[in-house]
């Protein structure tokens, strides 16, 4: 696959080719951007999966005061995990000063019995995972939640980050819904589905108005409406309208997950004439916080496995932690959201009922690991003794 990287540290633009599912080796002299390439791909994947905006950490110096310059990575949308073989990886995995030999777990512990019991455990917890694999709507919900969360940009102590999609789209008010006085004759174009393309087209032509009193497109006399034509470019710019369109579409897709009251307040926020107030910002950040928490729960459940329950005596307690308390999500009290939460909770309840069986499998696994470690410890010590 080809991955496009732009505005990441010292890289203005570049394309790197990687092959999925294999080790990709990229080499070059120091300072050419190898680390930036790996970090940009890694942060792009982690941002999408975790609903964060880690990529903003790679904003180049020239972009700190220029909102139009922001890090972007395109082409790795299908990747769900990535490992970078760098110094950190070596320190964490390859170089273990207290380990007798690299890969000792696979060599000394992992065997057919280990894999067999692990498969049984994974089969039991797969009931939860299957809900995500079979329910495309849950996957869509996670994607939409991620998109809305990332539109807030880099976290700030107060309010919304000035370079975020939310700020760019709504800070000055929604001028697509609320067309300024004097520009009403352009309503069909400004509110049309292709409004971004029309504004670009209009701005391209407006730059020639000083050369003649005739329209640069139709050559008709526009002397009396020149100022009105120019005003379109003063009020609208394609990027802001594009951000607004995208944000409005995300909110529309998320409508079915919001409570009726929250939906109405957000509609007022998005269609505001004067832009958002500090109070509205606080409210929307509160909604975002609930979205991020629920999204995190769904993602956590999506990756549930044996190592989440390695303490055999606390399996049931750990399982209960995975249940979602719908009362903690006041802004998301819609039938759609509650049905998703109920479906996930039912699957956890079913797993709790089988906790005895699950505990038995985990206990077998732990005893097996302890037994093999002890046997190999004795064998190795015997071998090393003079």
Q: Is the pLDDT of residue 76 over 80?
A: yes
Domain assignment of residue 142, yes or no: no
Dihedrals phi, psi of 103, to nearest 5 degrees: 75, 30
Give the end of a domain, one of 43, 72, 94: 94
Q: Is position 245 within any domain?
A: yes
- Quick: pLDDT tens for 15-30: 999 888 777 888 888 8
Residues 327 and 348 in one domain: yes
Place of tokens 């894999």: 115
Residues 75 and 173 in one domain: no
Q: Taking residues 291-299, what's their average pLDDT? A: 87
On whether both 244 and 351 belong to a single domain, the answer is: no
Residues 203 and 240 in one domain: yes
Mean pLDDT of 288-304: 83
Instruction: Give pLDDT, residue 95.
Output: 47
User: Is it the case that residue 96 has pLDDT exceeding 80?
Assistant: no
Q: Same structural domain for residues 249 and 173?
A: yes
Question: CA-CA-CA-CA torsion for 58, 63, 68, 70, nearest 10 degrees?
Answer: 0
Check pLDDT > 90 for residue 349. no
Q: pLDDT over 70 for what percent of the chain?
A: 78
Residues 244, 270 share a domain: yes
Give the confidence band of 41 by pLDDT, cuts at 50, 70, 90. Answer: very high
Q: Which range (14-18, 62-66, 124-128) has the least confidence?
A: 124-128
pTM of the full predicted structure? 0.53
pLDDT, mean of residues 297-303: 76
The torsion angles phi and psi of 39, rounded to 5 degrees, stand at -65, -40
If asked whether residues 213 and 256 sit together in one domain, one would say yes
What secondary structure letter does DSSP report for 146? H
Phi first, then psi: give them for residue 183, nearest 5 degrees. Answer: -110, 15
Mark whether 269 and 166 lie in a shared domain. yes
Higher pLDDT: 368 or 77? It is 77
Torsion of CA 375, 376, 379, 380, to 10 degrees: -150
Q: Which of the two residues, 110 and 186, has the higher pLDDT score?
A: 186
SS3 state of residue 73: strand
**What is the DSSP annotation of 321-367?**
HTS--GGG-GGG-SHHHHHHHHHHHHHHHHHHHTHHHHHHHHHHHHH
The CA radius of gyration of the chain, in Å to the nearest whole number, is 28
Residue 282 falls inside a structural domain? no
Q: Residues 192-238: pLDDT tens digits?
A: 888 888 888 888 888 888 888 888 888 888 888 888 888 888 888 88
Phi, psi angles (nearest 5°) of residue 143: -65, -45
Residue 132 in this model has a pLDDT that exceeds 90 = no
> Does one domain contain both 187 and 268?
yes
Tell me the residue range of the domain where 61 lies: 2-94
Q: Of how many residues is the chain composed?
A: 386
Query: Would residue 373 count as lying in a domain?
Result: yes
Whether residue 55 has pLDDT greater than 80: yes
Indicate if 167 and 70 belong to the same structural domain: no
Q: Which pLDDT score is estimated for 8? A: 92
The residue among 277, 312, 328 that closes a domain is 277
Mean pLDDT for all residues in the chain:
79
Burial class (CB within 10 angstroms; exposed 0-12, middle 13-18, buried 19+) of 244: buried
In this prediction, residue 383 carries a pLDDT of: 63
Specify if 296 maps to a domain: no
Structure tokens belonging to residue 89: 């990886």
186 lies in the same domain as 262: yes
Report if residue 65 sits inside a domain: yes
Single residue among 45, 76, 94 that ends a domain in this structure: 94
Give the per-residue pLDDT at 267: 84
State whether 40 and 115 are in the same domain.
no
What pLDDT score was predicted for residue 97? Answer: 52
- Pairwise CA distance, residues 240 & 161, whole Å: 15
Average pLDDT over residues 334-352: 84
User: Do residues 150 and 73 lie in contact, with contact meaning Cβ atoms separated by under 8 Å?
Assistant: no
Q: Is the pLDDT of residue 102 over 60?
A: no
- Is 286 a member of any domain? no
Q: What domain count does the chain have?
A: 3
**Is 362 contained in some domain?**
yes
CB 312 within 8 A of CB 366: yes
């Amino acid at each position: 696959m080809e991955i496009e990287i732009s505005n990441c540290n010292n890289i203005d633009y570049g394309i790197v080719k990687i092959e999925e599912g294999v080790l990709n080796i990229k080499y070059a002299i120091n300072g050419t951007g190898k680390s930036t390439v790996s970090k940009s791909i890694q942060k792009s994947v982690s941002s999408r999966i975790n609903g964060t905006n880690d990529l903003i950490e790679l904003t180049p110096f020239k972009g700190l005061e220029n909102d139009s310059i922001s890090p972007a990575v395109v082409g790795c949308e299908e990747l769900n995990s990535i490992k970078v073989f760098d110094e950190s990886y070596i320190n964490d995995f390859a170089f273990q000063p207290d380990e007798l030999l690299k890969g000792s777990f696979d060599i000394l512990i992992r065997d057919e019995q280990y894999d067999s019991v692990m498969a049984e455990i994974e089969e039991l917890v797969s009931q939860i995972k299957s809900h995500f694999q079979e329910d495309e709507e849950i996957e869509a919900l996670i994607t939409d939640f991620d998109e809305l969360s990332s539109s807030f940009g880099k976290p700030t102590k107060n309010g919304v980050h000035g370079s975020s999609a939310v700020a760019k789209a709504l800070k000055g008010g929604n001028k697509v819904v609320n067309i300024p006085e004097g520009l009403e004759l352009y309503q069909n174009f400004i509110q049309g589905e292709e409004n971004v393309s029309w504004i670009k087209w209009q701005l391209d032509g407006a730059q020639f108005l000083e050369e003649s009193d005739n329209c640069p497109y139709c050559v008709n006399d526009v002397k009396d409406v020149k100022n009105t034509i120019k005003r379109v470019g003063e009020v609208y710019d394609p990027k802001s309208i594009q951000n607004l369109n995208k944000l409005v579409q995300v909110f529309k897709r998320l409508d079915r997950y919001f409570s009726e009251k929250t939906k109405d307040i957000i509609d007022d926020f998005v269609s505001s004439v004067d832009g958002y107030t500090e109070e509205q910002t606080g409210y929307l950040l509160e909604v975002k916080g609930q979205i991020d928490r629920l999204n995190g729960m769904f993602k956590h459940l999506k990756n549930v496995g044996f190592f989440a329950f390695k303490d055999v005596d606390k399996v049931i307690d750990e399982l209960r932690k995975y249940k979602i308390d719908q009362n903690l999500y006041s802004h998301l009290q819609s039938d759609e959201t509650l049905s998703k939460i109920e479906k996930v909770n039912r699957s956890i309840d079913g797993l709790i009922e089988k906790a005895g069986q699950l505990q038995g499998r985990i206990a077998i696994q732990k005893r097996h690991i302890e037994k093999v470690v002890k046997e190999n410890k004795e064998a190795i010590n015997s071998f090393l003794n003079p």
